[in-house]
Structure 1
Amino acid sequence: MGAVQTKAASARRRRAVPWVFLGLWIVVLAVASPFASKLADVQKDRAVDYLPASASSTEVAQLQEKLPGGEATELVLVYHRDGGLTVADRKTAADQVAEVADAHTLVGKPEAVPSKDGATLMYPVASTEPGQDEDKRDALVNDVRDIAHGEGGLSVDVGGSGALDTDASEVYNSLGGPLLYTTAGVVALLLIVIYRSPFLWLVPLAVAGVADYLAMGVAYGLNQGFGTSVSGQSSGIMTILVFGAGTDYALLLVSRYREELRRIERPYDAMIAALRGCGPAVLASSGTVAAGLLCLLAADLNSSRGMGPLGTVGVLCALVTMLTLLPAVLVLLGRRVFWPLVPAFGSTPKRRRSLFAAMGGSAGRRPLTVLASGAVLLGALAVGAFNLPGALKQEDSFTKTPESVSAMKTLASAYPEQGTQPITVMTPDGRAGESLARIRATEGVGSAERGRTAGGWTEITVTATSAPESQGETATIEALRDGLDGSHVGGPSAQQLDLQDTNVRDRNIVVPLVLGAVLLVLVALLRSLVAPLLLLAAVVAVWGASLGIAGLVFEPLFGFDGTDPGLGLLSFVFLVALGVDYGIFLMHRMREECLRGAEPGAAALTALRTTGGVIASAGLVLAATFAVLTNMPLVQLVELGFVIAVGVLLDTFLVRTYLVTSASVALGRKVWWPGPLSRPAAPVPPPAHEAEPVRVPTP
């Protein structure tokens, strides 16, 4: 009777546990919901928002906030007619600018600046109405665009830094929906192909959606509690990581769960066995990604520093949901969720010829040849990185041409020897006259005028003789900074220059930290020094080859005129952290085989044969999710998505399959040095002759 009651209680517990987890997740989502919906409200995408507080251009923006009216929104109204402007065109321009002045509070009176060929007329306009409010800035820009319009061959574009910020903000705000839907669609398609089931793919996809919603709520909490910066780029990458990493974890869990269902009758017990089998590998891989991403906290650039916590939040939310909510839902749905390929209890899966067994066999027969050939190939591809275009200009950061960029291109053509974007200098009041004289005497300065004064600082607006973000204007900015002690030089072009300099500094600091953090995690997991170094060398080679491929296609094929300054650092962090992920799955299984007594060469081939299919599926999903970024309207997102997607594919189908396997075969036991597996196993002595049992008489 007691045994029957015990079994009944155990059955009730098995039925209750999944429902408990499901109920807990409903509560978690209810708590996170008010915060998740507010994440877009704290997103900031101006160039100055990406910069550190110590940058000279950031200090200029902060000082401008204290001036009467706060930081000014700079606009340029550009009137152009092919063949030359008519008298009526000039009157139209003057009337429209007067209407703008009547409708808004402007800094000074806008003055017309005609081009030498008479085909273009520009009106620089500045307003302090919006201040730091992005919604008010966008309203100002859109209102000016409604007023300034042309007809009958007269084109009118509104450009300037304020218009660029508005166009960029509109693009970033529009990313959320398309990015989420496209990512979900790509993942759904791949899961249908992988699982070959009309229902199973819905479960991990829905759980990934829950993880993304939770991550949004946690990210908003970090912003409110710790001031973590949130940009359109970082929030978009967070969504990509949730779906990419989460689906990878789901693939591992579901694959193991399917195996256990053939061996264990009850789904609950099969899930417990599956979690025990693949849980440690999933935890280790997510820990490696989190450790690598958190190294971005050492970056000085706000956008990169904010990317670390948000990316970590995405990975950890994916981990928690896939190890708690996904198992609960799968257990509740039972075996029927796998229809039509239901894994029956006691059944044996059909044996198929393994592609990865064949690939591993070729690597095992000639390991040194395969290793050398792969290294030469990766090295040759990496050379292409020298062909990457220069730093990306703000006007070239859109894949489609918005109105602000059209205005800048018209200005660059009409005023080739005149700057069309102001450089702002903030100088102490007591030295304003001296600073103004030095500025006007600086080579490359076309004009300089005193502006507003407040709080002991005077604003001086400088116009360079060179085009925005050109080498000549950059030289002028650097000369102003060198020649003006105690003053700060800012403006849109100075902000782009500070972005480049800060990225170089961050790369020199964060890259060694990432390598060190990942190496420590791998050493602790694999209990070896050679194997972790092998994996790190492989992912660094993949990073170099990916940048090389990018150098071969960015300008010739995609038509990109520049490379995002943060591409090198961000692609390195993601490729190292995510690439080592798959190395963990492979090397951990290899270590298990060695512990069971297999020789290192045989263990490497067995590990590839058993984990190759799952790693390939996970790699395809992760590469596809990052490839979604290549369909976005911002060049920096396209470039980042392309490099990471290419890198993941190289890592999955070349480095993991051939190079790591062949290196492990070639090194033998040395791959586990200095751990105990690096030493030959002690020979097992033959069993001693057992004496015949002696019957002891019973007393």
Structure 2
Amino acid sequence: MTPPHPRTRGLVPLALIAVWLVVGALLGPFAGRLGEVATNDQAAFLPRSAESTRVLREQTAFRQRETLPVIVVWTAEGGGPVTSRQRPAAEAVAALARMSGTAGSPSPALASRDRAALQAVVPLRPDLGDRLAPTLERVRAAAEKVPGTRVQLAGPAATQADLADAFSGIDGVLLAVALAAVLVILLLVYRSLLLPLVVIAGAVFALGVACAVVYTLADHGLVRVDGQVQGILSILVIGAATDYALLVTARCREELAGGRDRHDAARAAWRRSAPAVLASAGTVALGLIALLLSDLTNNRALGPVGAVGIVCAALSALTFLPAVLALLGRRAYWPAKPVGGTGAAGVWQRAARLVDRAPRRVWALALTGLLVCSAGALTLDSRGVPLDETFVRHVPSVAAQQTLARHFPAGAGTPVVILADAASASRVARAVRDTPGIAAVTATGAAGRPTDEPRAVDGRVRWEATAKAAADTQAARDTVARLRAGLHALPGANALVGGYTAQQYDTLRAAERDRAVIVPVVLAVILAILVLLLRSVAVPVLLVLTVALNFTATLGVAALVFGGLFHFSGTDPSVPLYGFVFLVALGVDYNIFLMSRVREETLLHGTREGVGRGLVTTGGVITSAGVVLAATFAALGVIPLAFLVQIAFIVAFGVLLDTLVVRSLLVPALVRDAGDRAWWPTRPGAGERDSRPPAPGGRPPAVLRREDGA
């Protein structure tokens, strides 16, 4: 590329900075507006082809409109039985039907068998959005008119309100915690006052652009966004933009230390870091795009949303940041002085010497440790978490559900829904009642009202069955499986089984299918990118295997931590897939940074010295990037949901394990032990290597012996 004229080369950085300032001013507010197009209605994220989804669509014929039920639970104060004065609760509930936000008449107030509680189901409109919480408060206020009782709200509406409350901190608290963590780490890494602020500004600009694009896509119905996707997008953009910025600024520091002026240093840093940044961003973006193969809508949403975030992060790191570095030069690093290497260069010199002296011992020990950790992955239960573990703090809907389970059949309020042809109604009803695990069955007539005999609508009939087990347990899911097996075996019934438990069951099955389909695709995509970048087959295969091993080792540790420290009985079905996509794609990121530099050095000095030089020159920046990414993902823990806490731990721990063990020891030792064979089928540097004679007496190359990295 022809360098610009000295009189005009300063105009390009100024123009780029001006463009980003305008973009930031116009699009920055979108970072706080994604909540306007987000939905936390879990029914919107069901598997597309699942039986429970078909039931959800078909059963609308049996009711006037779709509803979001809230279950009102009354218990007598002092724990005694409900008195005759308190039975007028039914009349109190009837008044709720006239409230704004309700969608039809509530059910009668039913007494529990122990006579200690009453319950009623109030149907609410599903499109209340921000008005859901005030509507629930009005329901509670009306229900509290029953004297001598304690009122609690359970059911899907109450759970959705608690989810919305949990996600309310995403736009503010989560972003503030993540940026504060990044700022502290960058201050320690750079020992500079100005550069950390520049890097954070670039990350915030990237987040604003990403949120604006996602907002537009969601507003036009092209993607669905919930609180989980919204939170992951913020963390992903901040972490990726900071990682790429660390690589660019480290290269620029090297060029400035070599005597280049600020413009030439910024151009050289861009030229030498762009291939690694683009390959890294492409790897992560394509890995996320593979989620479009998922049968779960929220997984498919995260794919393009995350890819948009990664592209915006790379765009900011390769345009805004080099422009600022070209404008500021050495002043960007003030009060520190740009020098080659990092403040921890001595650590990486020692690591490089260790790898050079005993590569086989190093990789054998690292490999053994990872395999031992991986054994624990077999104990990780990803069949979902019960409702009382969904939130990591006390929430009213969980407490209400626990009260409901103490006094009513555990599945009360969240029935299993059965649809079948009217001609087979009697056979289907008998099969449902005879299914082990079913406590009661009621038929449904017009407008969703209970009735003794089912009323045919368009040739179909509907029942609601109450399971003996709580709706969010494995026992209830087993009941759904038995029920489906029995009903599907009835000839001519065309029976479908849906409802909350069936939705959980179908989500679990879809998650298992997604892992079987998406994992090989992601690995193939990453392998193809690495082959193109490194012009080799052996090294890319080695890198893919090591990051996959890092993932299984992380899951093994997570299984121990989740059960022993956090007391989770399992994980959400999507957690292993999310963990795989993030850890494998981001883990390859760091190996791309390392191995692209090793290949660059190998072209000049050979594989042995290339490994040492690559490890020393990238060790500090990659480890810093890993710490930044781990800290940003750990910030997801401020959202009190088990799913995000589990993702936060898996990614944070896995990234640290990758940067400190896999990338720092295992990969360099394997490549060093393999020598030129690691680059098969090519021999990089043949005819291009440095013409200096080898070190006398077989001594290690200079980069492995000197502390200054020269």
Calculate the TM-score normalised by the size of structure 2: 0.88
Residue of 559, 582, 585 corresponding to 2:590: 582
Residues 578-599 of structure 1 show CA distances to partners (whole Å, capped at 9, x for unaligned) of: 001111111111111221132x
Letter in 2 for 1:85: P
Moved more, 565-574 or 505-514: 565-574
Residue of 390, 403, 412 corresponding to 1:397: 390
- Answer yes or no: is 1:623 the counterpart of 2:623: no
The answer to whether the Cα contact below 8 Å between 1:396 and 1:562 also exists between their aligned partners in 2 is no
Residues 389-411 of structure 1 show CA distances to partners (whole Å, capped at 9, x for unaligned) of: 45212342111121111011112
- Answer yes or no: is 1:114 the counterpart of 2:111: yes
Alignment match, 1:384: 376
Distance in 1 (CA, whole Å) between partners of 2:221 and 2:42 is 21
- Answer yes or no: is 1:653 the counterpart of 2:669: no
Residue of 55, 60, 81 corresponding to 2:50: 55
- Answer yes or no: is 1:594 the counterpart of 2:635: no
Alignment match, 1:563: 571
The answer to whether the Cα contact below 8 Å between 2:444 and 2:462 also exists between their aligned partners in 1 is yes
- Answer yes or no: is 1:460 the counterpart of 2:453: no
The Cα of 1:210 is off from its aligned counterpart by: 0.9
Distance in 1 (CA, whole Å) between partners of 2:126 and 2:171 is 26
The Cα of 1:375 is off from its aligned counterpart by: 1.4
Stretches of structure 2 lacking an aligned partner (at least 5 in a row): 448-456, 694-710
Q: Tell me, what secondary structure is at the counterpart of 1:426? A: strand
Q: Tell me, what secondary structure is at the counterpart of 1:637? A: helix
Alignment match, 1:314: 309
Query: Aligned runs of 1:672-691 on 2, under 5 Å?
Result: 672-677=679-684
Residues 66 and 212 of structure 1: CA distance in aligned 2, closer, same or farther (over 3 Å): farther
Distance in 2 (CA, whole Å) between partners of 1:654 and 1:278 is 24
The Cα of 1:147 is off from its aligned counterpart by: 2.7
Residues 252 and 449 of structure 1: CA distance in aligned 2, closer, same or farther (over 3 Å): same
Alignment match, 2:473: 470
The answer to whether the Cα contact below 8 Å between 2:630 and 2:651 also exists between their aligned partners in 1 is yes
Stretches of structure 1 lacking an aligned partner (at least 5 in a row): 1-6, 687-699
Query: Aligned runs of 1:194-343 on 2, under 5 Å?
Result: 194-225=189-220, 227-264=222-259, 266-343=261-338
Moved more, 624-633 or 262-271: 262-271
Residues 188 and 438 of structure 1: CA distance in aligned 2, closer, same or farther (over 3 Å): same
Alignment match, 1:167: 162
The Cα of 1:660 is off from its aligned counterpart by: 0.8
Residues 215 and 284 of structure 1: CA distance in aligned 2, closer, same or farther (over 3 Å): same
The Cα of 1:677 is off from its aligned counterpart by: 3.3
The Cα of 1:336 is off from its aligned counterpart by: 2.4
Residues 74 and 281 of structure 1: CA distance in aligned 2, closer, same or farther (over 3 Å): same
Residues 50-101 of structure 1 show CA distances to partners (whole Å, capped at 9, x for unaligned) of: 2222112222222344554322222221222453135277347445424324
- Answer yes or no: is 1:354 the counterpart of 2:346: yes
Distance in 2 (CA, whole Å) between partners of 1:310 and 1:459 is 38
Alignment match, 1:373: 365
The Cα of 1:215 is off from its aligned counterpart by: 0.4
The Cα of 1:182 is off from its aligned counterpart by: 0.9
Q: Tell me, what secondary structure is at the counterpart of 1:13? A: coil
Residue of 58, 78, 99 corresponding to 1:103: 99
Moved more, 285-294 or 224-233: 224-233
Q: Tell me, what secondary structure is at the counterpart of 1:202? A: helix
Alignment match, 1:426: 419
Residue of 78, 83, 98 corresponding to 1:87: 83
Residues 101 and 567 of structure 1: CA distance in aligned 2, closer, same or farther (over 3 Å): same
Distance in 2 (CA, whole Å) between partners of 1:122 and 1:222 is 45
Q: Tell me, what secondary structure is at the counterpart of 2:572? A: coil
Moved more, 417-426 or 654-663: 417-426
Letter in 2 for 1:310: V
Letter in 1 for 2:544: L
Alignment match, 1:140: 135
Residues 417 and 282 of structure 1: CA distance in aligned 2, closer, same or farther (over 3 Å): closer
Moved more, 356-365 or 627-636: 356-365
Residue of 608, 617, 639 corresponding to 1:632: 639
Distance in 2 (CA, whole Å) between partners of 1:439 and 1:530 is 57
Alignment match, 1:509: 517
Calculate the TM-score normalised by the size of structure 1: 0.89
Distance in 1 (CA, whole Å) between partners of 2:288 and 2:411 is 43
Q: Tell me, what secondary structure is at the counterpart of 2:9? A: helix
Moved more, 615-624 or 63-72: 63-72
The Cα of 1:152 is off from its aligned counterpart by: 9.9
How many residue pairs match? The answer is 673
The Cα of 1:33 is off from its aligned counterpart by: 5.8
Residues 91 and 651 of structure 1: CA distance in aligned 2, closer, same or farther (over 3 Å): same
Q: Tell me, what secondary structure is at the counterpart of 2:684? A: helix
Residues 653 and 436 of structure 1: CA distance in aligned 2, closer, same or farther (over 3 Å): same
Moved more, 610-619 or 161-170: 161-170
Q: Tell me, what secondary structure is at the counterpart of 1:10? A: coil
Distance in 1 (CA, whole Å) between partners of 2:591 and 2:396 is 47
Distance in 2 (CA, whole Å) between partners of 1:34 and 1:461 is 46
The Cα of 1:359 is off from its aligned counterpart by: 1.6
The answer to whether the Cα contact below 8 Å between 2:284 and 2:586 also exists between their aligned partners in 1 is yes
- Answer yes or no: is 1:124 the counterpart of 2:116: no
Residues 152 and 359 of structure 1: CA distance in aligned 2, closer, same or farther (over 3 Å): farther
Distance in 1 (CA, whole Å) between partners of 2:653 and 2:257 is 37
The answer to whether the Cα contact below 8 Å between 1:37 and 1:217 also exists between their aligned partners in 2 is no
- Calculate the aligned-residue CA RMSD, in Å: 2.9
Letter in 2 for 1:556: G
The Cα of 1:461 is off from its aligned counterpart by: 2.2
Letter in 2 for 1:424: V
Moved more, 93-102 or 363-372: 93-102
Moved more, 41-50 or 147-156: 147-156
Distance in 1 (CA, whole Å) between partners of 2:670 and 2:341 is 32
The Cα of 1:618 is off from its aligned counterpart by: 0.6
Letter in 1 for 2:353: G
Q: Tell me, what secondary structure is at the counterpart of 1:555? A: helix
Letter in 1 for 2:670: A
Residues 89 and 22 of structure 1: CA distance in aligned 2, closer, same or farther (over 3 Å): farther
Residues 484-530 of structure 1 show CA distances to partners (whole Å, capped at 9, x for unaligned) of: 54233222211111111100000000000001000000011111111
Distance in 1 (CA, whole Å) between partners of 2:127 and 2:9 is 56
Residues 685 and 177 of structure 1: CA distance in aligned 2, closer, same or farther (over 3 Å): closer
Residues 203-259 of structure 1 show CA distances to partners (whole Å, capped at 9, x for unaligned) of: 110111111011001112333456222121112111111111100111111122222
Letter in 1 for 2:616: R
The Cα of 1:273 is off from its aligned counterpart by: 1.5
Residues 16-51 of structure 1 show CA distances to partners (whole Å, capped at 9, x for unaligned) of: 212211232244446646866653222122222222
Alignment match, 2:499: 491
Residues 416 and 462 of structure 1: CA distance in aligned 2, closer, same or farther (over 3 Å): closer
The Cα of 1:607 is off from its aligned counterpart by: 1.1
Distance in 2 (CA, whole Å) between partners of 1:281 and 1:222 is 29
The answer to whether the Cα contact below 8 Å between 1:467 and 1:473 also exists between their aligned partners in 2 is yes
Residue of 435, 447, 466 corresponding to 1:442: 435
Q: Tell me, what secondary structure is at the counterpart of 1:486? A: coil
Letter in 2 for 1:114: A
Distance in 2 (CA, whole Å) between partners of 1:351 and 1:511 is 38
The answer to whether the Cα contact below 8 Å between 2:29 and 2:208 also exists between their aligned partners in 1 is no
Distance in 1 (CA, whole Å) between partners of 2:368 and 2:563 is 25
The answer to whether the Cα contact below 8 Å between 2:411 and 2:467 also exists between their aligned partners in 1 is yes
